Amino acid sequence: MFGASPKGAPKSKEFDDVYFSADDGLAETEHVFLDGNRLPRGWQGRDRYVICETGFGTGLNFLAAWKRFEDTAQSHQRLDFISFEKYPLDAEEIRLHLHPWAEFFEGHLSRMVQLYPALMPGFHRLALNERVSLTLVFDDVNIALPRLEARVDAWFLDGFKPSSNPDMWSENVFTHMARLSKPGTRLATFTAAGKVRRGLAEVGFAVEKVPGFGRKRDMTIGCFNQESLS
């Protein structure tokens, strides 16, 4: 099911899409998901910050969030990261795909790989350290998101392009995102597809198209229960 894009980024044969940009996956993650959700501003002054992601893939987004949190948050703050994945990679595949950033992530990549669970369906909670946890949910997001109880501060929507994976961008997912959000909860995604923006707006997110990463002209950011994103 996995291959490589011409420039080496991992690619899903099933969805005919890459896990991250072949140009610079980490720079894409930082632009789309971290800057798109205004991090670190979002967790300033917060004791606990909760990020929920649709599509864990290689864990690149998680590691980038963990690194930025560690570089910018105060010592009493906590980060809880929840991520859904229907077709989990194994630990060795992850290590291989993220090898180019092993130095940047210092010990974080090896710590994540060390604790990475067996590929059994269900919720797996990994305590990376005393401040950062990762809850990996190996299941279809449409089945597992309705079972989640949490207060989410930021959403990373990263489930392959809507045209090849429409299930990931369903009304069901959007409805449960709204249930788990509070006024001011933010979202960011690489896609600017009209169907996605309309679906998010219908459940209460103010959404806006902003410049995407690299050759992608647009992406989407949003904020729950607010008139505007300012």
Ligand X SMILES: C[S@@+](CC[C@H](N)C(=O)[O-])C[C@H]1O[C@@H](n2cnc3c(N)ncnc32)[C@H](O)[C@@H]1O
Does 85 bind ligand X (CB under 6 A)? Our answer is yes
The interface region with ligand X, picked from 41-49, 74-82, 85-93, 196-204 by CB under 6 A, is: 85-93
What residues numbered 89-118 form the site for ligand X, per CB under 6 A?
A: none
20 near ligand X, judged by CB under 6 A: yes
Q: How far is the CB of 55 from ligand X (least distance, A)?
A: 3
Taking the complex as a whole, how short is the minimal distance between the CB of residue 40 and ligand X, in angstroms? 19
Residue nearer to ligand X on the CB measure, 181 or 191 = 191
What is the SS3 assignment for the chain?
CEEECCCCCEEECCCCEECCCCCCHHHHHHHHHHHCCCCCHHHCCCCEEEEEEECCCCCHHHHHHHHHHHHHCCCCCEEEEEEEECCCCCHHHHHHHCHHHCCCCCCHHHHHHHHCCCCCCEEEEEECCCCEEEEEEECCHHHHHHHCCCCCCEEEECCCCCCCCHHHHCHHHHHHHHHHCCCCCEEEECCCCHHHHHHHHHCCEEEEEEECCCCCCEEEEEEECCCCCC
Find the binding residues for ligand X in span 132-161 (CB under 6 A).
Answer: 140-142, 158-160
Q: Does 36 participate in binding ligand X (rule CB under 6 A)?
A: no
Q: Is 165 in the site for ligand X (CB under 6 A)?
A: yes
> Under the criterion CB under 6 A, does residue 173 sit at the interface with ligand X?
no
What is the smallest separation between the CB atom of 37 and ligand X, expressed in angstroms? Answer: 14
Report the residue from 36, 55, 199, 204 that binds ligand X according to the rule CB under 6 A: 55
Rounded CA separation 50/153 (Å) = 5
Least distance to ligand X from the beta carbon of 47, Å? Answer: 26
Which residue, chain included where needed, has tokens 């679906």?
199
For residue 115, give the nearest of 98, 95, 139 by alpha carbon: 95
Binding of residue 86 to ligand X (CB under 6 A): yes
Least Cβ distance, residue 221 to ligand X (angstroms)? 17
31 lies in the site for ligand X, by CB under 6 A: no
Residue number, 133 or 165, with CB nearest to ligand X: 165
Residues near ligand X (CB under 6 A) are 19-20, 55-61, 84-87, 140-142, 158-160, 165, 167-168
